Structure 1
Amino acid sequence: MADSDSGEKTEEPTAKKLSDARKKGQIARSKELGTMFVLVGSASALLMTGESLVAALSTMMKRLFSLSREETMDIHALYQVVSDSVASVAAPLLWMFFIIMLAAFIGNTLLGGMSFSWGAMAPKFSKLSPLAGFKRMFGVQAMVEFVKSLLKFFVVFIVAYLLLSGLFDQILGLSLESIPNNFGHAVDMLLWMFMALTFSLIIIAVVDAPYQSWNHNRQLKMTKQEIKDEMKNSEGNPQTKGRIRQKQYEMSQRRMMQEVPNADVVVTNPTHYSVALKYDADQGGAPVVVAKGIDEMAMHIRTIAKEHGVEIVQSPALARSLYYTAEIDQDIPEELFAAVAQILAFLFQLKAHRKGKGRRPQALAKNLPIPEEFRY
């Protein structure tokens, strides 16, 4: 009991808790993973489009530095030259930007997926508190970020040192190469060194992404009382649900009682069970149960039936069978057709006799044809 009320967040977050947090913009995110994808995407884009971009820039520079006198004096011709020059570099630049944007999108949605929340964009005045800022500066999260920064520095430093050591002879040899071949060679080496340095950040991302996912889950953990409260709110308070069910039951009983005056007969126990039946001879089909009840409800049905002149027939076995096997507003079971038919026939003859159109019917048989499996 003490553990239950301790308030410690030991329980995994529920699906509703995760969903609510996501709506507020609280999802697992790794800045290192996004940065790594952007840098690797940039390096890949430069390697894939660098040659065509350099060629386009070279063509543009040659064209702009070889303008004729007529072109410089004609504003329309000058606009055309500038337009053609920009168009020549547009394609490689667009491809490069597309690759970088795609890498940024993948890197920032790979962990946590896509999420758009107005709540995340709303200003939080609590962040303006000096005390809260002091806690962020010297808290656990700040220490984790500091350790990550040191790790990034050492990883990049070691990879850069290894690259420079391995390429040292080639770097010195650039001075012996002819121009412009040495420039192309230098750019090529720089691009591959940039690619190697960015790939070194994979080490940081591999460590940071699982940590961010674990930390996000830890922050959303719940106490046992919070889980109980959530279940109560989602499923409804038992007392409230009980009152609702009681109201629904009372409404259904009132509707049921309103149908008793329209019944043709009420079959009774005669003290514990009452079942009101309605049969539409013009429509055909089977008799329908319009009301049923036991004890006080059964007595109430009989009272309403007497007030409205509905015939009441005592048949204990049939009343119990109808009560347990037939539902309200549903046809009676086929197995009870014969027994109910005898009662209806008796009533029709009795009504005809009262109108002077026939002789008095014989008393209703005490042992109506009720199958054994329908006897209760």
Structure 2
Amino acid sequence: MLSMDLQYFSGEKTEKATPKKRQDTRKKGQVPKSTDINTALILLIVFIFLFVYAAVPAKFMQDLFYETYINYASLSFTVEDTMGMFQGIVIQMGIVIIPILLVAALTGVIASMVQVGVLFAPEVIKPKLSKINPLKGFKRIFSARALVELVKALLKIVLVGTLAFGILWMFRDDLLMLGLYDVLDGYYVVSLLTGMIGVASAILLLILAIPDLVYQRFDHEKQIRMSKHDVKDEFKKMEGDPLIKAKRRQKAQDLAMQRMMQEVPKADVVITNPTHYAVALKYDDSSMTAPKVIGKGVDYMALRIRKIATDHDIAIVENRPLARALYDGTDVDDEVPEDLFRAVAEVLAYVYRLENETKQRGN
């Protein structure tokens, strides 16, 4: 008991984050996300796309060399001609590069959505003076997290470099013969090797990113932990919010009203006032010691109860004093009070007699 009290007053964060705390941190953009996953997926999809797309850059390079050595060589290099030449090259390069950039951007968006879902957190991009504080920046550079990131980066460089060297070594004969190929054949050999290195490196980085994602989620859970005092304060604030209380009461009333309306078709009789009040009664001598109120309402709700009774052929009996007494003196699921037994019994006897007469006439 003493240790629990010490934890409470010391503010030690031992409790898991509440749903509200998770929602608040998510609104601030604080979500468990691995940038390594995004980077690896972007590299993988882009290099796979380049395998399919390789012919387009090849055609562009071929046309560029042709234009350079055949058409541009005959130009008089004035300012206008030079600007026109560069504009044409830039436009053509844009047409070639834009699809690659779009694939990379779309992959990055999808990778982020897979990790954190749809999230718009404008607070993340708000300017904060603390972000340009040199002291805090210095602390970040020499923090334990920065050291871990440095080790991770060095490990990636070594592993990816080793992988790339291994692939180049496997195709060393083709590389040595590269000078004997024509331009297009040489381009396709280099493109194939580049694509293979890119895809293999991306898969390796993706495998290495899985532990990072696990760590990011573990670290996020640790960062958003709460103390017992925080949990208690949050609960008090939520309970004390009039809007939340009102919403809860309204929701509870709606659910209770829905359940009540589902029970009304099971009633034996509905006693009315005749328009302002309606009380639905049910009696089963095998399971009940007294008739039970299974629904009641006033004004519009009374109208709905009468409508349901009419639709289900339930007897409606007008008895103003009894309807008002039942409405004021009972709640839904209550048994009829003893002082109203006689009046209710007379009504039920009347209803049962009508039902018997109807059955006899039907026979």
Structure 1 residue 340 displacement after superposition: 5.7
Partner of 1:16: 20
Name the structure 2 match of 1:149: 153
Report the more deviating stretch, 215-224 or 3-12: 3-12
User: Quick one: which of 195, 200, 213 aligns to 1:196?
Assistant: 200
In the TM superposition, 1:42-61 aligns within 5 A as 42-61=46-65
State how far apart, in whole Å, the 2-side matches of 1:68 and 1:338 are. 104
**Aligned residue in 1 for 2:165:** 161
Q: Give 1:178's aligned residue.
A: 181
Does residue 370 (structure 1) correspond to residue 343 (structure 2)? The answer is: yes
The two structures, once aligned, show a CA RMSD in angstroms of 4.6
In structure 1, the partner of 2:32 is 28
1:220 CA drift (Å) = 0.9
Matched residue type, 2:66: K
Partner of 1:110: 114
- The CA deviation at 1:130 is 4.8
Structure 2 counterpart of 1:46, one-letter code: L
Of the three residues 51, 63, 66, the one matched with 2:70 is 66
Deviation at residue 55 of structure 1 after TM alignment: 0.9
Q: 1:11 to 1:370 in 2, by over 3 A?
A: same
Whole-angstrom distance in 1 between the partners of 2:206 and 2:126: 33
Q: Which residue pairs with 2:97 in the alignment?
A: 93
SS in 2 for 1:215: helix
| 1:293 equivalent in structure 2 | none
Q: 2:236 maps to what in 1?
A: 232
**Structure 2 contact 75–81 (Cα < 8 Å) conserved:** yes
- Conserved? CA contact 1:9–1:221, under 8 Å: yes
For residue 39 of structure 1, report the CA deviation from its aligned partner: 2.2
Q: Given the superposition, is the C-alpha separation of residues 48 and 92 from structure 1 closer, same or farther in structure 2, using an over 3 Å criterion?
A: farther
d(CA) in 1 for partners of 2:205, 2:340: 91
Alignment of 1:337 with 2:340, yes or no, is no
Secondary structure at the residue paired with 1:45?
helix
Report the CA distance shift for 1:10/1:93 in structure 2 as closer, same or farther (over 3 A). same
Larger C-alpha radius of gyration, 1 or 2? Answer: 1
CA distance in 2, matches of 1:41, 1:140: 33
1: CA distance between counterparts of 2:241 and 2:103? 54
Task: Tell me the TM-score normalised to structure 1 length.
Answer: 0.58
Distance (Å, rounded) in 2 between the aligned partners of 1:51 and 1:59: 12
Q: Which has the higher helix share?
A: 2
Structure 2 gap segments, 5+ residues each? 250-272, 279-294, 303-315, 324-338, 348-363
Instruction: Choose 23-32 or 181-190, whichever is displaced more.
Output: 181-190
Q: TM-score, normalised by structure 2?
A: 0.60
Is the Cα–Cα contact under 8 Å of residues 12 and 222 in structure 1 kept in the other structure? Answer: yes
Distance 2:18 2:44 in 1: 36
Aligned residues: 278
Once the two structures are TM-superposed, the CA of residue 21 in structure 1 deviates from its matched residue by 1.0
CA distance in 2, matches of 1:215, 1:148: 16
Counterpart CA distance in 2 for 1:141 and 1:340 is 76
- The 3 A distance-change label for structure 1 pair 224 and 48 is same
String of CA shifts for 1:191-230, please: whole Å, max 9, x gaps.
3223322332112212212211221122111122212211
Distance, in Å, in 2 between the alignment partners of 1:216 and 1:78 is 55
Contact preservation (8 Å) 1:339, 1:370: no
Shift of 1:20: 0.9
**CA–CA distance in 2 between the matches of 1:29 and 1:138?**
22
- Distance change (3 Å), C-alpha of 1:227 and 1:336: farther
1:32-54 superposed Cα distances (whole Å, 9 cap, x missing partner): 12221232233233322222221
Contact 2:276 2:298 in 1 (8 A): no
The 8 Å contact of residues 37 and 111 in structure 2, kept in 1 or not, is answered as yes
- Aligned-residue sequence identity (percent) comes to 27
Q: Does 1:136 align with 2:140?
A: yes
| 1:115 counterpart SS class | coil
Aligned 1:172-321 pairs, distance under 5 A: 172-175=176-179, 177-180=180-183, 181-236=185-240, 285=274
Q: What is the one-letter code of the residue matched to 1:197?
A: S
Is the Cα–Cα contact under 8 Å of residues 335 and 370 in structure 1 kept in the other structure?
Answer: no
Structure 2 CA distance, aligned partners of 1:136 and 1:87?
42
Output one character per residue of 1:64-95: Cα deviation in whole Å (capped at 9) or x when no partner.
5433999879x999999988877766554332
Q: Where do 4+ consecutive residues of structure 1 move more than 4 Å?
A: 68-73, 75-91, 128-131, 286-289, 325-331, 338-341, 366-369
Q: Secondary structure of 1:214's partner? A: helix
- Say if 1:60 and 1:88, in contact at 8 Å, map to a contact too: no
How far apart are the structure 1 equivalents of 2:39 and 2:277? 73
For residues 288-317 of structure 1, the C-alpha deviation after alignment (integer angstroms, 9 at most, x for no partner) is: 69xxxxxxxxxxxxxxxxxxxxxxxxxxxx
Residues 28, 121 of structure 2: 8 Å contact kept: yes
Structure with the greater relative contact order (CA < 8 A, sep ≥ 6): 1 or 2? 2
Q: C-alpha separation between the residues in 1 aligned to 2:177 and 2:51?
A: 22
